[in-house]
Amino acid sequence: MNNIFAVTAASGAASAALPLPPLVVSLLQIVVLLGMLFTIAAYTVLIERRVIAWLQHRVGPNRAGPFGLLQPLADVLKLLTKEESTPPFTDRWLFIAAPAIIMVTSMLSFAVIPFGPEPFMVIANMNVGVLFFLALSSLGVYSIVLAGWSSNSKYAALGGLRATAQMISYELSMSLALLAVALQAGTLSFNGIVEAQRDLWFVILQPLGFIIFLVSVVAESRRAPFDLPEAENEIVAGFHTEYSSMKFAMFFLGEYVSVMLLSCVVATAYFGGYLGPNIPFVPSVLEGPIYLLGKMALLVFFFIWIRATYPRLRYDHLMELGWKYLVPLAVLNLVVTAVITLALPHLTVAPR
Amino acid sequence: MTLSLILYTLVVVATALVTIVLSALLGRARRNYHKDMAYESGIVPTGDARLRMSIPYYLVAIMFILFDVEILFLYPYAAVARDLGWLGLLKAMVFIAFVFAGLAYVWLRGGLIWRHLSKTASGSLSSSQN
């Protein structure tokens, strides 16, 4: 009986693939992944502002460096040196813990996203990777609950409540849609799910599941048109109304890292993750990251695009969409997928 | 790799802690009476923010726990669905039918209504008042 963090057959050879001691490999993985996350998250903020500006016929931030490329650096420096306030009416420790939780959970989920077929391209090729991702996204809800409650401010309390109800509702349809993917791939590891798509991407096999997952993912990240917890004209900034300085930036970072994470999960579960045709003159090790990050970039652009396109939903419509449409449709998708998988077992490459 | 995962967890937690400590050290805190009030768009706040919540929020939380746990039971099935074959699918279908009979019950009793005085439900509960 393997322990749950034990790794499936392929990754046993992790250190064999690289002529380096395991500790060095681990440290390299972590440094590269974290460096990439922070850089891309910072530039996602800039890209979002530029793209939104472009879609609204404005210019957007273009003063700091060429094309505004130094804007993220300027933002970080400014936020770090701004006044830090922990208001006296808050529940101090929970107030401090809340932004840390969202940052940790959203970054930790990247441990199970494979950036390539090689064993060292993923931090942990867990055989329960899908469950790990779902568990961490559930834990992320705690951050919102604690931020809203510990702030002891009315806007924060309302925003926290709204966000919690919204996130847990859409988590159902999200996990049901991912369940169908796991069923078709016959495995709960993200590596296995990608490998099962060598012949055919799951977006072609499960178009309904893909749409359900995409909608749930946008709602899960609390972005427009599902940004009711942060609806500026109703409740100021929602659950992070009382936050300032770097603690505010941690919520911000957590949001952008989870947008990247959810885009990566969509790409991995439906668009073949790191798979793609060979690129000439590029070492094959780099092909996986190029494809995954390219697909992620397109999906992040999609997130920004719909933010500029759609108006905000009404709250009762939001909850009805989740419970009355997405959940029953996701169950339908699951049953149809199960029947197709059993009737046509050779549609996907069987893993293991 | 287990080693990578443990190290990664430690590094991520450390990053969060360092960020919090850094922001506490770098930003000067100058407090005054007005800054120590809750932000309510310039209006002086009255009372506490720990207000009573409306019932639908509790309902959603309870339903989430029920359905999420039940969906989790399906994950082991998903991993071995091919090996279990048609009989396994039939058994899973019985389970799904029971779970979603529950959803249908909640729906018909009006547990999914968020509007006050809704006319869409067949048997609306008074608890849908919001």
The residue range of the domain holding B68 is 55-129
pLDDT of residue A235: 76
Q: Is B5 in the A-facing interface, judged by CB distances under 8 Å?
A: yes
At A284 the pLDDT is 78
Region B47-60: mean pLDDT is 78
pLDDT tens column, A307-318: 888 888 888 888
Could you give the CA distance from residue B50 to residue B40 in angstroms, rounded to a whole number? 15
Q: A25 near B7, Cβ under 8 Å?
A: no
Q: State yes or no: pLDDT of A10 exceeds 60.
A: no
Helices (H) and strands (E) in chain B, counts: 2, 0
Q: How far apart are CA B1 and CA A14, in angstroms?
A: 8
Contact B64 A188 (CB under 8 A): no
Query: Is residue B37 assigned to a domain?
Result: no
Interchain contact, A25 vs B15, CB within 8 Å: no
Q: Which residues of A251-275 are buried (b: 16+ CB within 10 A; e: fewer)?
A: bbbbbbbbbbbbbbbbbbbbbbbbb
Locus of tokens 């989870």: A258
* Confidence check: pLDDT of B128 > 60: no
- Whether B33 maps to a domain, the answer reads no
CB-based burial of residue A199 (10 Å sphere; 0-12 exposed, 13-18 middle, 19+ buried)? exposed
Cβ neighbours around B19 below 10 Å, total? 19
* pLDDT at residue A193 greater than cutoff 70: yes
Q: Radius of gyration (Cα) for chain A, nearest Å?
A: 21
Instruction: Return the ∠ at Cα B52 (arms to B48 and B55), rounded to 5°.
Output: 160
> CA-nearest residue of chain A to B89?
A338
Q: Give the Cα separation of A166 and B64 in Å (integer).
A: 11
Statement: residue A228 has pLDDT above 90: no
Average pLDDT over residues A259-277: 89
**pLDDT mean over A243-266:** 88
Distance CA B114, CA B120 (A): 11
Tokens of A53: 């500006």
* Mean pLDDT for the stretch of residues A289-300: 91
Q: Taking CB atoms and an 8 Å cutoff, what residues of chain B touch A250?
A: 16, 19-20
DSSP three-state, residue A126: strand
Residue B124 lies in a domain: yes
The domain tally of chain B equals 1
* A6: closest chain B residue by CA: B2
* Domain-embedded: residue B105: yes
**In the structure encoding, which two tokens stand for residue A8, read together?**
């499936």
ipTM metric: 0.79
Nearest CA in chain B to A235: B40
- Is the per-residue pLDDT at A266 higher than 90? yes
Chain A residues inside the 8 Å CB shell of B27 = 80-84, 245-246
A residues 11-30 near B, CB within 8 Å?
A: 11, 14, 22-23, 25-27, 29-30
| B30 interface with A at CB cutoff 8 Å | yes
For B73-127, how does the pLDDT look when each residue is reduced to its tens digit (9 = 90+)?
888 888 888 888 888 889 888 998 988 888 888 888 877 777 654 444 444 444 4
B72 pLDDT more than 80: yes
Q: What value does the mean pLDDT take over residues A275-292?
A: 82
- In this prediction, residue A349 carries a pLDDT of 62
Helix intervals (H) in chain A: 14-17, 22-55, 71-81, 92-108, 129-151, 154-185, 190-195, 202-205, 207-220, 232-235, 245-270, 284-309, 315-320, 327-343
The pLDDT assigned to A263 comes to 92
Domain borders along chain A are 83-346
Residue of A36, A76, A80 to mutate, interface with B, max B Cβ within 10 Å: A80
A125 and A8 Cβ atoms separated by less than 8 Å: yes
Q: Which residue of B has its CA nearest to A149?
A: B50
- At A78-113, the pLDDT tens digits run 887 777 777 777 888 888 888 899 989 999 998 888
Query: Mean of the pLDDT values across residues A253-265?
Result: 90
B91 interfacial to chain A (CB closer than 8 Å) = no
Residues pairing with A126 in the sheet: A7
* pLDDT score, position A211: 92
Rounded Cα distance between A307 and A305, Å, is 5
- Identify the pLDDT of residue A267: 92
What is the pLDDT of chain B when averaged over all its residues? 78
Give CA–CA dist A221/A227, Å, rounded.
9
pLDDT at position B79 is 85
**Closest listed residue to residue A238, CA positions, set A312, A331, A343:** A312
Mutating which of A2, A3, A26 best tests the B interface, going by the most B Cβ atoms within 10 A? A26
The single-letter DSSP state of residue A352 is: -
B101 located within any domain: yes
CATH number at residue B68: 1.20.58.1610
Check pLDDT > 90 for residue B19: no
Beta bridge partners of A7: A126
Written as six digits, the tokens of A171 are: 């988590």
**Taking CA atoms, what residue in A is nearest to B24?**
A84
Percent of chain A residues topping a pLDDT of 70: 93
Which tokens go with A85? 């306030």
Six token digits for residue A149: 């409650």
Q: Over 90: is that where the pLDDT of A273 sits?
A: no
What predicted TM-score, i.e. pTM, was given to this entire model?
0.85
Phi, psi of A177 (to 5 degrees): -70, -40
pLDDT at A128: 87
Separation CA A38–CA A257 (nearest Å): 8
pLDDT at res. B121: 47
B59 in any annotated domain? yes
Predicted confidence band of residue A185 (pLDDT cuts 50, 70, 90)? confident
A225-234, A246-255, A342-351: least confident range:
A342-351
Average pLDDT over residues A116-129: 82
Say what percent of chain B tops pLDDT 90.
2
Interface touch A339/B8, C-beta < 8 Å = no
**What mean pLDDT is predicted for residues A252-258?**
88
d(C-alpha A233, C-alpha A221), whole Å? 19
Confidence band for B48, pLDDT divided at 50, 70 and 90: confident
What is the separation of C-alpha A239 from the centre of its chain, rounded to a whole number of angstroms?
20
Question: A280 burial class (0-12, 13-18, 19+ CB within 10 angstroms)?
Answer: exposed
In a domain, B17, yes or no: no
Lowest mean pLDDT among A4-8, A22-26, A251-255: A4-8
- Asked if residue B62 belongs to a domain, the reply is yes
Do A124 and A112 meet the contact criterion of CB atoms below 8 Å apart?
yes
Cβ neighbours of A171 in B, within 8 Å: 64, 68
Average pLDDT, chain A: 83
